[in-house]
Structure 1
Amino acid sequence: MKTSLIKLTLPLAAAGLLAACAGGPQPPDWQLEAKGSMDRSVAAYMEGNSRVEMAELERARTQLTRSGRADLLATAELLHCATRVASLVVDEPCTGFEKLRPDATEAQRAYADYLQGKVQPQGIPLLPESQRAAAAGNAGALQGIADPLSKLVAAGVMLQTGKASPEVITQAIDTSSAQGWRRPLLAWLGVQLRRAEQGGDTQAADRLRRRIELTQGISAAARPLTPVTKP
């Protein structure tokens, strides 16, 4: 699975970071290693492997601190927190970024607020283009987002702010399933299950429970994850 650090965070950081992917001059090894570690960190978290995720995140942090630039490290911290929003872990503060907030860019601060569902109207133009419609509460915001992680982030913010329709939840489930991302899939299935239960749809609820059990059993080596059932 290949996750694009550039697609999600390049608007938030210096354009020179990871520039090799754009066909520019070969960047220093620390930049390539940071990107590789963040890609692996995101993939591990979405697949449900927290141990690998944190080990790779620490490697990325080590490489990025070599630059002495808070904005580059803030990029990694925001991506780390974005995976939580995509997986509906909304009660976990973005501690790594908040320590860097005073030296982060204005766009990065707006994005951090967005992840918490608290972005101000004046901050919306500073967000990555893929997230602006979701921040504005546009019901069709997910339709124009091609990148899977960006789509799940937008859906997660919409759920936080009470703007996620059943169609948004279904798109988040389909996106997670297509990528093989077990953690967000369980979280979004849990949301759909909760809504089916609240609506008295016992057939749908039973079907969703079976799908959750199937998803939890995909990897016998992985510890089962408890699905999120917050509305």
Structure 2
Amino acid sequence: MNTLLMKSAAPLLAAALLAACSSGPRPPDWQLEAKGSMDRSVAAYMEGNSRVEMAELERARGQLTRSGRAELLATAELLHCATRVASLVLDEPCTGFEKLRPDATEAQRAYADYLRGQALPPQAIALLPETQRAAAAGNAGALAGINDPLSKLVAAGVLLQTGKASPAVIRQAIDTASAQGWRRPLLAWLGAELRLAEQGGNTAEADRLRRRIELTQNAPAPAKP
């Protein structure tokens, strides 16, 4: 049988917009198309291609509204906002989700508050994806137990937002973004490390980071589809 889950390209609220049991029938086309569009939207944003990101997001929104289920669209909106936190775009409101907040699940509302860096009570932390609970509690060692790269960057972004990101957290975020080839978050986290080097008066390290930032900025743009 097909099982519809609150899943996405990363295990933010579970792991993807849908999952089908191997023995069940093929999921409806709108589910497959919505998941594919969200996967492409996330990838494009992280690679620095905002035009493709928004085009794919709109396609996903169009498919999800066909279900008439606010909680499905809310999952996509939260994933969209999570990419911002992962890339340290912390001043951009999660407008798409907030319009759906009254009809969202408790877990979704807790996750939205988590992305904004709000302090959560224990009962709300318990509703978060397991990978994010330690970060929500302010544990700077939370990243060590997270395997999914987007989830790791989200946790790091929340820790930075709440003033609990150690230099080790920043380095882990840099390594994660670099390993994935995600230029947008890589530049953001390199900038965070550069500020630390400048504040600490480490001129040689600051110069090295500036060279790496320049190299990343000058990388060829992704080919247009």
- With the length of structure 2 as denominator, give the TM-score of the two structures: 0.91
Query: What is the rounded CA distance, in whole Å, between the counterparts of 1:82 and 1:114 in structure 2?
Result: 10
- Going by fraction, where is helix more abundant, 1 or 2? 1
Partner of 1:67: 67
Q: Which runs of 5+ in 1 are unaligned?
A: 223-231
Between the two proteins, what is the percent identity of the paired residues?
83
The answer to whether the Cα contact below 8 Å between 1:19 and 1:25 also exists between their aligned partners in 2 is no
Q: Which runs of 5+ in 2 are unaligned?
A: 1-6
**Corresponding residue SS for 1:126:** coil
Change (3 A) 1:220 1:69: closer
Spell out the pairing of 1:195-210 with structure 2 (5 A cutoff): 195-210=196-211
**Which stretch shows the higher mean deviation, 147-156 or 112-121?**
112-121
Query: Deviations for 1:66-110, whole angstroms, at most 9, x for unmatched residues?
Result: 000000000000000000000000000000000000000000000
Change (3 A) 1:52 1:157: same
The answer to whether the Cα contact below 8 Å between 1:44 and 1:52 also exists between their aligned partners in 2 is yes
The answer to whether the Cα contact below 8 Å between 1:12 and 1:107 also exists between their aligned partners in 2 is no
**Which stretch shows the higher mean deviation, 191-200 or 213-222?**
213-222
Partner of 1:19: 19
Query: What is the rounded CA distance, in whole Å, between the counterparts of 2:194 and 2:73 in structure 1?
Result: 37
Partner of 2:56: 56
Q: Does 1:8 align with 2:11?
A: yes
What is the total number of aligned residue pairs between the two structures? 216
- The one-letter code matched in structure 2 to 1:153 is V
Partner of 1:104: 104
- The one-letter code matched in structure 2 to 1:33 is E
- The one-letter code matched in structure 2 to 1:79 is L
Deviation at 1:11, TM superposition (A): 3.2
Query: Deviations for 1:126-148, whole angstroms, at most 9, x for unmatched residues?
Result: 00000001001112100000000
Deviation at 1:28, TM superposition (A): 0.4
Q: Structure 1 runs of 4+ off > 3 angstroms? A: 9-13, 21-25
The answer to whether the Cα contact below 8 Å between 2:34 and 2:59 also exists between their aligned partners in 1 is yes
Query: What is the rounded CA distance, in whole Å, between the counterparts of 2:151 and 2:173 in structure 1?
Result: 11
The answer to whether the Cα contact below 8 Å between 2:48 and 2:184 also exists between their aligned partners in 1 is yes
- With the length of structure 1 as denominator, give the TM-score of the two structures: 0.89
Query: What is the rounded CA distance, in whole Å, between the counterparts of 1:129 and 1:7 in structure 2?
Result: 13
Q: What RMSD in Å do the two structures reach over aligned CA positions?
A: 1.8
Query: What is the rounded CA distance, in whole Å, between the counterparts of 2:107 and 2:22 in structure 1?
Result: 22
The answer to whether the Cα contact below 8 Å between 1:71 and 1:104 also exists between their aligned partners in 2 is yes
The answer to whether the Cα contact below 8 Å between 1:124 and 1:135 also exists between their aligned partners in 2 is yes
**Corresponding residue SS for 2:14:** helix
The answer to whether the Cα contact below 8 Å between 1:189 and 1:208 also exists between their aligned partners in 2 is yes
**Corresponding residue SS for 1:8:** coil
Partner of 1:28: 28
